[in-house]
Homo-oligomer: A and B are copies of this chain.
Amino acid sequence: MPCPEPPSQPPRIPDERPAGAPTGHPPAATADTSDDAAARAGLTAVAGPGDPAMGALLDEHGAAAVWQTLRRGRTPPAPPDARGGAADRAARWRQRAAGVDTDALLAAAAEIGSRLVVPGDPGWPTQLDQLGRERPYALWVRGTRDLRHACLRSVAVVGARAATAYGLHVAADLAWGLGQRSWTVVSGGAYGIDAAAHRGGLAAAAPGVAVLACGLDLSYPRGNENLFADIAARGTLVSEHPPGAPPSRHGFLVRNRIIAALTPGTVVVEAGARSGALNTARHAHRLHRAVMGVPGPVTSALSAGCHRLLRDGAAVCVTNTDDVVEQVGSIGTDLREAGDGGAVGGGVLDDTARRVLAAVPKRTCAGTASIAEAASTGIDTALSSLGLLAAAGFVERGASGWRAYRDP
């Protein structure tokens, strides 16, 4: 049985990287961590999300320096490969920055129980770094779970808003099956497939991740307000937009890259020929993630996009949870197997977690105390590591303790 209950204190994985140094990006050497975070909070209110010009500036100068420059009403130096119009854009940033109060933003976020996660934080999902200069400046996160852990073993389930009863059924069923196997479902917050996927995951008591295209204090669409509350209580709400930011048409498209980048694979359940869900699939493809399509009746216009993906060989045909896990599970499986041989490191597990994993029995269950003893750690440390390992799908709670997770 999976262990759906989130640990009361979400475990934090010690990060091997020096604080403040985003993987694969030049360290913002001068930035004090809290300055960096405050600056990034402000930047989410100033620049359009994923703007590669801003990304280049951050890589070059660090967030604090860019933010200070804008706040002082100056124009940041254009990146070496900047194109025409850079000055206009910088002027817009400068104007907007003048009106932003980062303390107020952070306070508004705290008021709704949300927090800022920035590159270099232990909870930063480093898989987003593959977005390069289109990496989010920061993420506003609401919920008790650690976003990075939650997404280690996750699948994006996306599709049309105007879904059919068939699509809603399949989305909920797939998500439920994934939840049952301790896979986190990541999706947007729209009606239709997104909502059905979240509901299916919640029905399996599996905390999901909803990536929204507006501030986390807003419920858009309004009819999903209760669903968002449930996800915030048991899973995670995520946005690139600061509190108060309204949704925009462009925002949804740009948001899709985050859904694709957070997860090792994206399933398109139903999509018309021009659905936004195909945009998520395209991002996933570009990021070399698994792209999966659910077939449906050829007589249904809402399956046309999925069939197009399948026909073009851009997606693998999946019909149930087993099929999906077969596509994305290799990473988890490989890591699990490698765990015994000690090769699991790869930036995912730290030494302690690896020791604790090695101490968890494969068939029988063991109590926390005996695992701690075998791993030569304190009980608290063992418990924290076990929480992480459970969230990431390496171990599960059995009737009388912990054991290695086995695929059903």
Interface residues in chain A, defined as those with a beta carbon under 8 Å from any beta carbon in chain B: 48-53, 81, 83-85, 88-89, 134, 166, 169-170, 249-250, 253-254, 256-257, 272-276, 278-279, 282-283, 285-286, 294-299, 303-305, 307-314, 316-320, 323, 343-350, 353, 367-369, 379-380, 382-384, 387-388, 390-393, 397, 401-402, 405, 407-408
Do A299 and B84 contact each other (CB < 8 Å), given the known contacts A286-B393, A311-B317? no
Contact A253 B391 (CB under 8 A): yes
**Other-chain residue from B88, B275, B348 in contact with A274 (beta carbon distance below 8 A):** B348
Residue of B nearest to A315 (CB): B317
A299 to B295, CA, bound (A): 10
A85 to B407, CA, bound (A): 27
Contact B257 A89 (CB under 8 A): no
Contact A282 B52 (CB under 8 A): no
7 smallest CB-CB distances across A and B, nearest first, come from A295-B295, A274-B347, A310-B317, A50-B391, A298-B319, A253-B392, A85-B383
When distances are taken between beta carbons in the complex, the residues of chain B under 8 Å from A343 are: 273-274, 278, 305, 308-309, 312, 314
Residue of B nearest to A298 (CB): B319
Contact A295 B282 (CB under 8 A): no
When distances are taken between beta carbons in the complex, the residues of chain B under 8 Å from A349 are: 253
When distances are taken between beta carbons in the complex, the residues of chain B under 8 Å from A273 are: 343
Contact A48 B388 (CB under 8 A): yes
When distances are taken between beta carbons in the complex, the residues of chain B under 8 Å from A346 are: 274
Contact B317 A307 (CB under 8 A): yes
Residue of B nearest to A86 (CB): B383
Do A83 and B368 contact each other (CB < 8 Å), given the known contacts A253-B391, A286-B393, A345-B274? yes
A405 to B287, CA, bound (A): 13
**Other-chain residue from B84, B313, B383, B391 in contact with A52 (beta carbon distance below 8 A):** B391
Contact A254 B295 (CB under 8 A): no
When distances are taken between beta carbons in the complex, the residues of chain B under 8 Å from A249 are: 350
Copies in the complex: 2
When distances are taken between beta carbons in the complex, the residues of chain B under 8 Å from A393 are: 257, 279, 282-283, 286
Query: What are 27 sample pairs from A and B whose C-beta atoms fall under 8 A apart?
Result: A51-B391, A52-B391, A52-B397, A83-B397, A85-B380, A85-B382, A85-B383, A170-B299, A249-B350, A254-B388, A272-B347, A274-B346, A275-B348, A276-B348, A278-B343, A279-B344, A279-B392, A286-B405, A295-B295, A295-B298, A295-B307, A297-B297, A298-B319, A298-B320, A304-B319, A311-B316, A312-B343
The distance from the CB of A224 to the nearest CB of chain B, in whole angstroms, is: 20
When distances are taken between beta carbons in the complex, the residues of chain B under 8 Å from A276 are: 348
Residue of B nearest to A283 (CB): B393
The distance from the CB of A276 to the nearest CB of chain B, in whole angstroms, is: 5
A50 to B393, CA, bound (A): 11
A274 to B347, CA, bound (A): 6
A312 to B326, CA, bound (A): 12
Do A257 and B295 contact each other (CB < 8 Å), given the known contacts A274-B344, A344-B279, A379-B84? no
Do A408 and B317 contact each other (CB < 8 Å), given the known contacts A279-B393, A307-B295, A387-B48? no
The distance from the CB of A322 to the nearest CB of chain B, in whole angstroms, is: 11
Other than A84-B368, A298-B319, give 10 A-B pairs with Cβ distance below 8 A: A48-B391, A51-B387, A53-B387, A83-B397, A85-B383, A254-B392, A274-B343, A285-B407, A295-B307, A308-B343
Contact A85 B368 (CB under 8 A): yes
Contact B296 A311 (CB under 8 A): no
Of A51, A344, A368, chain B has the most CB atoms within 10 Å of the CB of A344
Residue of B nearest to A316 (CB): B311
The distance from the CB of A213 to the nearest CB of chain B, in whole angstroms, is: 12
**Other-chain residue from B51, B169, B353, B391 in contact with A49 (beta carbon distance below 8 A):** B391
